[in-house]
Amino acid sequence: MADYIIRRLISLVFVLLAVSAIVFAMMHAVPGGPFDTQQGHLPPAARENILRKYGLDKPVWQQYLNYMSHALRFDFGIPYQQPQTTVAALIAKTWSVTLQVGVMTIIVAFGLGITAGKFAAYHQNSWIDNLVTFTATLGVTVPNFVVAMWFILFFGVARQWLPVGGWGVSHCLFGSWFCTDWILPVAAYALAPMAVVARYTRSSIVDVIREDYVRTARAKGLAESLVMKRHVLRNAQIPMVTALGTEIPNLITGSIFIETTFRINGLGKFFVTSTLHRDYPMIMATFLLVALLWGVTYMLTDIAYTMIDPRVRLGARGEGHG
Amino acid sequence: MVRPAPAREKTVNGLVLPDDAAPYSEQVLRLPCDNTRNETTFDSAVTIYQVFGCGGNLFGDTLVDLDKDFTPRPAAAASWSVADDGVTWTFRLREGMMWSDGTPVTAHDYVATFRLEATPEHGWDFSWFYTALGDGGIANWTRVVAGELPPEELGVRAIDELTLEIVTEGFFPPFPGAMKFGYVLQKRALEQHGPFYNNDPATSVSSGPYILDEFDPGNRIILVANPDYTGYRPARLARIEGIYMSPATYFIAFQTGEIDLVSDGALTPTDFISIDRDPVLRDNYLRHYGDFRTDYILFDTFNPPFDDLDVRKAFAFSVDREAIVRGVYGEIKAMPAHSMLMPGFPAADTEGTLAGFQHFDCGLARQHLAAAGFPGGDGFPGLEMWLRGEAPALAAVYQATAASIAQCLKIDLQVSNKDGKVFMDALNARPTRLQLGAVSYGMDFLDPANLLGAWVSTGRHSWKNEAFDQAVVGASRLLGNPDRRLQMFRDAERILVDDVGGVFIAHRWQGDLFKPHVLGDSFRQPDSNGVYGRHWGNDWFWGDVYIGKRE
């Protein structure tokens, strides 16, 4: 296992290098630079001054090497959007908020999604199944910013039951253990992944329920709860982990729609605004962060397989799943 | 027994609040701050295009302010004069102005600020302004920005503690109006902490009506009245709270009572329907000129097909401006445009005579297209009209414009909404890479030299007309005959619309939606044309606005 993890971490370093080179080349290839204004009147001399100040007057390959040499020392530069801070400080500040939103969303989405999926699978073609399927379809097809606006209009404007903005800044109970301004953003953000989780959970369980070994277990007189626990859920977990693991990096890197709509000062918006504003240091940092999270998530997913199914051997060549 | 009237409350500057004002403890104005914009500073002297939309430029007074009719009025400068040579301007600063650290505001602070703006390493994004002013530019500005001269050679100097001298490159009568951009930063703070010193309450220092109390980027900005302020716009408000949010949620936050003011840019067509249906909202949406912004189509007139005047005229006569204003903008937001200068702007065609050159007449448009060799649109190349990353509401306007042209002329015209920087990159390339685009332009200062100067052949438009160039440049330099000067600008604009440098679609009304309890003559009283609202450049608003007693 340790060898496997070391090999995966080494390969992750190469992935990050490749991502950094591709992103760096692409962002410099796109027309328009960080200091081109909407007015476009910046005189050549002034433009050159700014480019020199930020080291953008050098050839792209040289800029890349400069960037990487600093990045290896965890110096990711100054964000053009907030030049009074550093990229690392800005990410530390905003990602901590995004992580809170993401973790709560994961708990809600996975908790409710798995529960709903199980109910739907156990009660195939019943009204419960239909309700879960309908809700899941709605959750997947309606974008979260539309859901967010529905929630705001109903719960905030029409009924005035819940605050419509901020994150942990008001309406907090039990100290800061629970704030009412968490409810709407987490609910709006969780709806789509909850739908995905419910659908995957249902289909995985339904597939396993029809397997011969489940039928055999029942024929042997095993209690239904034990059949479900030992044979159905355990074997349904591998496809669920494969599908659901990939939701996690998305959720913990935030959503511009949720964050801007609910006035959450998180990292999510920087994925878009950095590109729009050609904020090169932030573009690089956010892409590297995402690449790192995906790499780690895939590695953890593979490790999870071995815990769920001992027959799985990590790094073994030519072996199937038994 | 007659009870004595309660004593009217005073502000931290000793100003007595109006009779209808709420108690001083309730003098709090809550503003939305855009959490999607790239904003980096409170001071336009640092960067003008990335200044905070809420709370910006409140830590110092510009040399000059504008009244409701856009006439320059004293601000930090109590008075000004020009020498007989016509290029040496003297600004006398108001006496007794203080920084919040207890030191006096001096002409040296203004000199340091102008020098910072021109310093090549600072790379001020508005440095084009004093170059574009031509004769009105500050002496040596362009050469200092280019690094050919040191900042000390700039035509700005302190004669004494309270006297600032600015030398311009040539005659430029409207120069005092340009000193609306005469910003100030504290010389000492600049030297000690650099240009972003106002981003941290620990290093921030203010000579404006407010001081920075709290700044949490992305969350909130808190400003409080500056008790040491002695300038021309002492605050009636005790406090300004800026709350970061997406413009998409401004109107919702306004409805839930979290903010007191929303500007038109954040209001959708649906929001305007809600405003129109509610008498309280309708009465408190105060429409104004804004920056006299005009939406128009621009061409590459140096290459086919737009090098042919008939093609350009065909486009000019095929836009149904009235229908677009009525059906897409809404009449609360725009008026049909037949030229560049919005009525109300100096030298504008208020009589509507220029409409003869650009109006909707589909039959005439088809005749011009036929004259260009494309009868019935046959053989006309398919075109793509680029937009500059427009929001949906304005993109719909340009879509409607393209549809009007395509339907009338029977040509293939598509619209492509590009990333803003991609658009500007193509527009500014020489030769331009933008064959056909739609865009808006608003003033930087209230003089036709600004809005018509943008069409001079050295500017960003790929259109050239010698007679137009001569008229605009000549009028900009003309001293001592204001009537003749305005007539020259009118003549120039007639050339612009007749030669179809652009196709003018609409002049945009701008406006602000206020809570009924937000009061002040600066926006609740009309200008001489009967237009209400918070006019562009009226910085005295921030001393005038107050919170009234709630019903």
Question: Which segments of chain A does DSSP mark as H helices, in order?
Answer: 2-29, 44-53, 60-71, 87-122, 127-141, 144-151, 183-209, 212-219, 224-226, 234-245, 247-252, 256-261, 268-276, 280-308
Mark the ranges of chain A whose per-residue pLDDT is less than 50: 318-322
Record the tokens describing residue B99, joined without a space: 């920084």
Q: What is the DSSP string of B380-449?
A: PPPEEEEEES--HHHHHHHHHHHHHHHHHHT--EEEEEE-HHHHHHHHHSSS-S-SEEEEEE--SSSSHH
How far apart CA B21 and CA B83 sit, in angstroms, is 45
Residue A233 confidence (pLDDT): 85
For A273, which residue in chain B has the nearest alpha carbon?
Answer: B36
Q: Do A36 and B424 touch (CB under 8 A)?
A: yes
Residue B92 confidence (pLDDT): 98
B218 to chain A, any CB pair closer than 8 A? The answer is yes
Going from the C-alpha of B422 to that of each of A40, A277, B432, B437, the distances in angstroms are: 11, 11, 12, 12
Nearest to A312 by CA among A260, A234, A256: A234
A146 to chain B, any CB pair closer than 8 A? The answer is no
- Tell me the backbone φ, ψ of residue B17, rounded to 5 degrees: -75, 150
B424 to chain A, any CB pair closer than 8 A? The answer is yes
DSSP label at A118? H
Q: In the sheet that B502-508 helps form, which strands lie side by side, from edge to edge?
A: B334-336, B502-508, B294-299, B436-441, B383-388, B413-418
How far apart CA A17 and CA A10 sit, in angstroms, is 11
- ipTM comes to 0.72
Q: Do B35 and A40 touch (CB under 8 A)?
A: no
Å between A152 CA and nearest CA of chain B: 8
Q: Do A40 and B427 touch (CB under 8 A)?
A: yes
| B221 interaction partners in chain A (CB closer than 8 Å) | none
Whether B237 contacts B29, CB under 8 Å: yes
Residue A225 confidence (pLDDT): 86
- Tell me the backbone φ, ψ of residue B315, rounded to 5 degrees: -65, -45
Q: Find the radius of gyration of the CA atoms of chain B.
A: 25
Residue A319 confidence (pLDDT): 42
Read off the pTM: 0.82
Residue A320 confidence (pLDDT): 39
How far apart CA B247 and CA B258 sit, in angstroms, is 14
Question: Testing the interface with A: which of B30, B41, B116, B125 to mutate, by most A Cβ within 10 A?
Answer: B125
Q: Which residues of A126-147 are buried (b: 16+ CB within 10 A; e: fewer)?
A: eeebeebbebbeebbeeebbeb
Q: Do A43 and B122 touch (CB under 8 A)?
A: no
B143 to chain A, any CB pair closer than 8 A? The answer is no
Nearest-CB residue to B123 (from A46, A157, A260): A46
Q: Are β-strands B502-508 and B510-514 bridged in parallel, bridged antiparallel, or unpaired?
A: unpaired
Residue A277 confidence (pLDDT): 85
Residue B5 confidence (pLDDT): 54
Residue A321 confidence (pLDDT): 39
Å between A263 CA and nearest CA of chain B: 5
Q: List B residues 81-120 in contact with A (Cβ-Cβ < 8 A).
A: 120
Q: List B residues 290-319 in contact with A (Cβ-Cβ < 8 A).
A: none
| A153 interaction partners in chain B (CB closer than 8 Å) | 252
Å between B34 CA and nearest CA of chain A: 9
How far apart CA A24 and CA A273 sit, in angstroms, is 17
Residue A321 region by backbone torsions, left for phi larger than 0, else alpha for psi between -120 and 50, else beta: alpha
Averages of pLDDT over each 10 residues, chain B, 551 residues: 64 93 96 88 92 93 94 96 94 97 97 95 86 85 91 97 96 88 97 95 97 92 96 97 90 92 89 92 95 96 97 98 94 94 93 96 97 96 95 90 97 94 88 95 87 90 96 83 91 98 96 97 93 93 95 70
